[in-house]
């Protein structure tokens, strides 16, 4: 019998290969440079989405987190350098660490909001990454992030760094520690308990995966040789945890089973991406609202309950 991880991997691999019979799957470890070099042979584009995905896991096991995210990314870059391939790297808002919690905010009925009008459009790419209490996860991703930038500056590789906020969409098998929009949607739809750490007023800008792929595509079509973009839904596409629960009640007709625990280490009360740079350099902007995106996810869950047991 397949475990949950194996089922989700098989489901998504089957989905991709059904879309394109030319896809070749290599089951290997990102830390194994020789396997990666072989898989990337003759590639002209590497979309680097692999990594350790949870802050909590990085705290428990920082060495493995570092080896996957930092060393693994160096392996990707070296494999790409052999072919002069373009690299698109999925970085994270966690490179800014807890510094975003120093931005003055105020508390509303169902969410936090930035008080400082300097951040009305969100957190820009130039926001400080120093003395930021990143967490081991944020530190390893930041190391990878800067290495991708350096391979553009030193070796001339074409690279795009996408510091992602909350990406979600159909076929995402979210869990408590990663993919909160997907996890809340799955848990509500299947009557599983949801634990909120803090008061639920934490805010993120959310971005449907279709819009993320469009951002990749528009960067590749642009004249930019290297860029760092904060990548999310921006200030027009935000949700607090409490607001997502309200939306899910409306979409599913179910009452989420919620309990509240203490705040977790390194959580950001508010993170909203300033996406004006990406828009200015490539013309990209989000097109799918949180209401539409979550509706699509709930509909997908309803059609695929057997996968989620």
pLDDT score of 238 more than 80: yes
Do residues 298 and 133 lie in contact, with contact meaning Cβ atoms separated by under 8 Å?
A: no
**DSSP letter string, 27-61:** ---TT-HHHHHHHTTT-SEEEE--S---HHHHHH-
**Domains, the chain, with CATH or none:** 4-308 (3.40.50.720)
Q: Which of 137, 147, 168, 271 is catalytic?
A: 137
Does the pLDDT at position 165 exceed 90? yes
Question: Pick from 166, 263, 278, 170: which is nearest to 227 by CA?
Answer: 278
Let me know if 78 is exposed, middle or buried by CB neighbors in 10 A (0-12, 13-18, 19+).
Answer: middle
Using the 8-state DSSP alphabet, how is residue 22 labeled?
T
Q: pLDDT-based confidence at 5, cuts 50/70/90? A: low
Supply the DSSP string of 251-287, one letter for each residue.
HHS---EEEEEPPPTT--SEE-B--HHHHHHH-----
Distance CA 80, CA 78 (A): 5
Rounded distance between C-alpha atoms, residue 96 and residue 150, angstroms: 18
119-131: pLDDT as tens digits: 999 999 999 999 8
Q: What percent of the chain has pLDDT over 90?
A: 86
How big is the chain by its Cα radius of gyration, in Å?
Answer: 19
Q: Is 137 a catalytic site residue?
A: yes
Q: Is the pLDDT of residue 84 over 90?
A: yes
309 pLDDT higher than 90: no
Mean pLDDT confidence for 260-277 = 93
Of 266, 157, 172, nearest to 212 (Cα)?
A: 172
For residue 1, name the pLDDT band (cuts at 50, 70, 90): very low
d(CA 91, CA 216): 13
In tens, the pLDDT along 106-119 reads 999 999 999 999 99
Structure tokens at 85: 């391939």
Residue 254, token pair as written in the block: 């179910």
pLDDT digits (tens, 9 = 90+) for 169-199: 999 998 888 899 999 999 999 999 999 999 9
Residue matched to tokens 């839904």: 233
């Amino acid at each position: 019998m397949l475990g949950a991880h194996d089922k989700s991997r098989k489901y998504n691999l089957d989905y991709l290969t059904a879309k394109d019979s030319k896809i070749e799957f290599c089951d290997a470890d990102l830390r194994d440079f020789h396997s990666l070099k072989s898989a990337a042979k003759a590639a002209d584009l590497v979309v680097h989405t692999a990594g350790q995905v949870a802050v909590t896991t990085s705290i428990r096991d920082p060495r493995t987190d570092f080896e996957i995210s930092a060393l693994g990314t160096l392996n990707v870059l070296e494999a790409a350098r052999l072919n002069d391939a373009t690299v698109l790297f999925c970085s994270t808002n966690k490179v800014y660490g807890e510094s975003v919690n120093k931005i003055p905010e105020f508390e509303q009925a169902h969410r936090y909001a930035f008080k400082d009008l300097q951040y009305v459009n969100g957190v820009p790419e130039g926001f400080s990454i120093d003395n930021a209490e990143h967490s081991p996860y944020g530190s390893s991703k930041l190391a990878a992030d800067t290495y991708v930038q350096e391979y553009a500056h030193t070796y001339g590789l074409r690279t795009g760094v996408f510091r992602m906020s909350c990406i979600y969409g159909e076929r995402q098998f979210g869990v408590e520690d990663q993919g909160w929009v997907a996890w809340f949607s799955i848990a509500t739809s299947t009557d599983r308990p949801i634990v909120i750490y803090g008061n639920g007023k934490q805010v993120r800008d959310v971005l449907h995966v279709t819009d993320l792929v469009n951002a990749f595509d528009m960067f590749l079509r642009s004249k930019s040789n290297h860029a760092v973009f904060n990548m999310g839904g921006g200030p027009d596409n935000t949700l607090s945890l409490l607001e997502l629960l309200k939306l899910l009640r409306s979409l599913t007709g179910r009452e989420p089973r919620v309990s509240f625990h203490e705040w977790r280490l390194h959580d950001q009360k508010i993170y909203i991406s300033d996406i004006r740079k990406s828009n200015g350099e490539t013309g990209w902007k989000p097109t799918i609202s949180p209401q539409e995106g979550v509706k699509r996810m709930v509909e997908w869950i309803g059609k695929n309950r057997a996968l989620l047991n």
